[in-house]
Amino acid sequence: MLTSFFRKSKPINYLLVGVVASFFYINNNFFKFFALNTLGESLFFLLLYLFLMVLVNFIVHRNKVTEQNTYTLFLFVAFTCMFPEIYTDYQVLGASLFLLLALRRIMSMQSGKALKQKIFDASLWSCFAFLCVPQSGLFLLLVWASVYFYQPKVISNWAIPLVSVFCVYILATTVSLFSTNQFYHVAIQEVLPQFNFLNFYKWQILAGVSVLLLSFFLSLALLFKNMQKSVRNFRVSVYLLLTATLICLGMVVFSAKNNVAEILFPIIPISILGGNYLEQSRKRWKNEVLLWGLILGCFSIYFSSFLL
């Protein structure tokens, strides 16, 4: 039943996923939505969270990473609801928006058109993400990985991300000079990793991370099994998503705050890989079991965080 429903991309699918996502967000920010001084802010970031879903869906369908279905959106909502901290960390939500915009330009490089412009744009968005969460700057590694896969022999392509870094620094410094009369700088404590994972030592968080990593490894197992039958563009997309997942996990590990909300970064590529896994799996009964198990597991983890 669930497999048949999410295999389609009709308006009712998007409406249902959007309503469920809004429920989790509003439930986690309940009091902010009923306070006049925070209502506008909460509503803005709810729309931002929903826009992240729309952008993920656009990336996977526009670049033919998955077919027309809503598996990826379902996984994105299911994974994020296991970590309620995501809904209250506006810096992470903002950084995720810029990283998705960067990923959109990277995935579109498979067309082979305007590569230099796309490299510059992807680097630019990654630098804007850095302004929100400094560890997001690691996403520039994915830009260089895309250069390696698509046009490695053009030397100038490797230098383009540095131009983007310089442009964003000039912009940030200009704003800083006008507002604080100082050059833009990042405090050392915001950059150096702390390797303090006390916030993760809760059974709900550990259970959520386990579900996320299990989904990641299951997706990889099937994708690598079918890799030889796929066209080159699809293989490169999978390699880039795998690289993006590892980089995003690195952002969490090397975080200066070790905030649980930063798990949103790896959730994005894992949701895309998981959606592709469900699409390629030919055993419908297995998909049905996985979807129902994921719903029960994610909902249990989410609500237990309020009860315990």
- Consecutive H or E run containing 104: helix 90-107
CB 219 within 8 A of CB 269: no
- How far from 303 is each of 76, 78, 83, 204, CA to CA, in Å? 17, 13, 11, 10
At 222 the pLDDT is 77
Question: Quick one: what percent of the chain has pLDDT higher than 70?
Answer: 93
Q: What is the mean pLDDT of residues 250-279?
A: 88
At 7 the pLDDT is 80
Q: What is the mean pLDDT of residues 277-289?
A: 80
Residue labelled with tokens 């055993």: 283
Between CA 35 and CA 200 the distance in angstroms is: 30
CB-CB neighbours of 41 under 10 Å? 13
Between CA 55 and CA 44 the distance in angstroms is: 16
- pLDDT tens column, 85-127: 898 888 999 999 999 999 999 999 988 888 999 999 999 999 9
Question: Quick one: what percent of the chain has pLDDT higher than 90?
Answer: 35
CB 216 within 8 A of CB 263: no
**Which is nearest to 163 in space by CA: 121, 134, 217?**
121
Tell me which DSSP letter residue 7 carries: T
Non-local CB neighbours of 68 within 8 Å, separated by 6+ positions = 8, 9, 61
pLDDT over 90 at 243, yes or no: yes
Between CA 61 and CA 77 the distance in angstroms is: 17
At 282 the pLDDT is 73
Length reported for the chain: 308
Between CA 44 and CA 80 the distance in angstroms is: 18
Between CA 41 and CA 45 the distance in angstroms is: 6
Q: What mean pLDDT value characterizes the chain? A: 86
- pLDDT tens column, 197-226: 777 888 888 888 999 998 898 888 877 777
What secondary structure, in 3-state letters, does 117-171 show? HHHHHHHHHHHHHHHHCHHHHHHHHHHHHHHHHHCCCCHHHHHHHHHHHHHHHHH
- pLDDT tens column, 13-64: 889 999 999 888 888 876 666 666 677 778 888 899 999 999 999 998 888 8
At 202 the pLDDT is 84
Lowest mean pLDDT among 70-84, 130-144, 259-273, 294-308: 294-308
